[in-house]
Amino acid sequence: MTTRQRGLLGRVRGLIQGLLRGWVRDRENESPRAVYEEAIAERGRQYRELKQAVAGILYMRNKLEAEIRERRVEIAALYDDIRRAVTGNDDDAAVVLIQRKEDRQNELAHAEQELAKVRSGAAEAKVNLARFREEIRNLEREKVRMLATIANARARRRIQVALEGLSVESDLQALENVRQHVAELVAETRLDTELGDDGLERRIREIREESRAEAARRELAEIKRRLRPAEIRIGAPTPGAATARG
């Protein structure tokens, strides 16, 4: 395979990997709950593995502590045996017991060194175990918060899309058209009125005004006619009054 072919295959492989990463990222964005649950499950798996490791370390610590206690008891017993052998002038037994004591002391020293390492590892492992457990709890709380935030954002987005889809401009245009039509009708009515001031409409109004004035004059004449006999009666002398004056 030539260098050009290898380069072409590398570019194709990179393109495919990029497309796969983009596809995975889109799926993750569409399913944030699944992403969080997967992350929490992975942390839980790691927590269980670490917990088993810590349990093994604690078992080893307990075993070493028990072994150290046994070695110390055995060494103390060997000291007593050595004193009895020396007291009994049993040098051969005393030599064997001393060698055995030294072996147990070496074993004790080695066990104590191992215990120190195991205790250090156990302490570090317990810290990591507590950290993993707290991280899982934080992820669970974060999942609740983020899912609520995403749901809120999606709801606001749906409202925004719904508002953008409303035909507000068309409704306003329809209202403006109605207002313009009403204004045009009013203008036409005023124009008819202005045009009607000349010609027939003016003569009709003058006739009506003249008729009203004539009716008012007739009413005035009638009022005067009614009042005139009363005035005559008031101004004429009564018969009794004339006799008295004579």
Distance in angstroms (rounded) separating the CA atoms of residues 99 and 81: 12
**What does pTM read for this prediction?**
0.44
Q: Which residue has the tokens 């008012």?
A: 216
Distance in angstroms (rounded) separating the CA atoms of residues 102 and 6: 69
Distance in angstroms (rounded) separating the CA atoms of residues 82 and 102: 12
Tokens describing residue 35: 């992403």
CB-CB contact of 45 with 88 (8 Å): no
pLDDT at position 21, please? 54
pLDDT at position 213, please? 84
pLDDT at position 106, please? 92
Distance in angstroms (rounded) separating the CA atoms of residues 177 and 145: 50
**Per-residue pLDDT in tens (0 to 9) along the chain, 246 residues:** 666 555 555 555 555 555 445 444 544 455 778 888 888 888 888 888 888 888 888 888 899 999 999 999 999 999 998 898 888 888 888 899 999 889 999 999 999 999 898 888 888 888 888 888 888 888 888 888 888 888 888 788 887 777 666 555 666 677 777 777 777 777 766 655 655 555 566 677 778 888 888 888 888 888 888 887 655 555 555 544 444 444
CB-CB contact of 147 with 33 (8 Å): yes
DSSP assigned state of 197: T
pLDDT at position 76, please? 92
Residue from 217, 228, 36 nearest 137 by CA: 36
Tokens describing residue 98: 């001393």
Return the number of other C-beta atoms located less than 10 Å from residue 82's C-beta: 18
Query: Which class is 32-158 in CATH?
Result: mainly alpha
User: 3-state class of 64 per DSSP?
Assistant: helix
Tokens describing residue 16: 């495919």
User: 3-state class of 2 per DSSP?
Assistant: coil
Alpha carbon 78 to its chain's center:
74
- The pLDDT tens digits for 150-200 are 888 878 888 777 766 655 566 667 777 777 777 777 776 665 565 555 556
Alpha carbon 118 to its chain's center:
47
What residue ranges do the domains of the chain occupy?
A: 32-158, 173-233
pLDDT at position 168, please? 54
Alpha carbon 186 to its chain's center:
53
Q: Which residues contact 146 (CB under 8 A, 6 or more apart)?
A: 32, 36
Residue from 240, 220, 238 nearest 228 by CA: 220
pLDDT at position 99, please? 92
Tokens describing residue 208: 């009506």
